Amino acid sequence: MRIRDCYLLILILLTLNVPAQASPWYPIESGRIWTYSSTAGGPTTAVMQDPESFDGSLLQPLLWTSGTREYFSLDEFDRVLFHGAAFSDGSFIVFDPPIVRMDPELMLGHEWETQTVSILYDHSGIEVRRVQARSSYRVIAVGSVTVSAGTFPAAEILRTEETGFLPGSSFRDTYAEDIGWILRTDENASSVLFELTGYGAHGVRTEISSWSAVKSRYGN
């Protein structure tokens, strides 16, 4: 077997180890696309890319208009894990262990907490800063929510960073089932920070059923 064939086989085997992307509240399957308005100025778009390697694992990257790539996975308990992010200047941050960004069931009053070490690296891979971080999440409302993109059954989560880079900061994130993140406001819901204006999917993913099918795409 030639070197190129071995390399392709390794890539396929790695892809098969990616967990099924099935979170209804925080979809992370490739091809998803969301557009938001923000107080930071102008529209911003996020696109879920095909899996790629980050910090030694094959993860699902979310690419933002700014060039930031956030990396996610789904664990055996159907929780969405946030592993870190890479920035356009080459610097990156790793969460060890990954942050539990989303629990599978969002019932009113449900709470969870996540603790991690946030490790910031510069563009050359040199560690710049290391911070112990702890955040709490609580579902404070469940019901229909209207944003620019439409009206959806949704759950609102109060997220508070107890310790970390921004200790004491709080905001409200709203998620719609089968859509994902649709709204962010400040702690008192008096100011809209991000609002979903559009969503959808692009591209057609082709399932690869055999190694012969893989080789046929690249010729002999």
205 or 151: which leads in pLDDT: 151
Predicted confidence at residue 149, as pLDDT, reads 96
- Is residue 74 a part of any domain in this protein? yes
CATH number at residue 194: 2.40.360
- Is residue 219 a part of any domain in this protein? no
Q: Which domain holds residue 185?
A: 21-201
CB 122 within 8 A of CB 128: yes
- Is residue 185 a part of any domain in this protein? yes
- Is residue 127 a part of any domain in this protein? yes
Predicted confidence at residue 72, as pLDDT, reads 98
Mean pLDDT of 34-52: 91
With a pLDDT cut of 70, the percent of the chain lying above it is 81
Q: Which SS3 state, helix, strand or coil, does residue 97 take?
A: strand
E strand residue ranges, the chain: 32-38, 43-48, 52-54, 57-64, 69-74, 80-86, 92-102, 111-121, 127-147, 150-163, 170-176, 180-186, 192-201
Q: How would residue 22 be classed by pLDDT, with cut points 50, 70 and 90?
A: low
Q: Which SS3 state, helix, strand or coil, does residue 19 take?
A: coil
pTM, rounded to two decimals: 0.81
How many domains, the chain? 1
Q: Which element (helix H / strand E) includes 213?
A: helix 211-218
- Is residue 11 a part of any domain in this protein? no
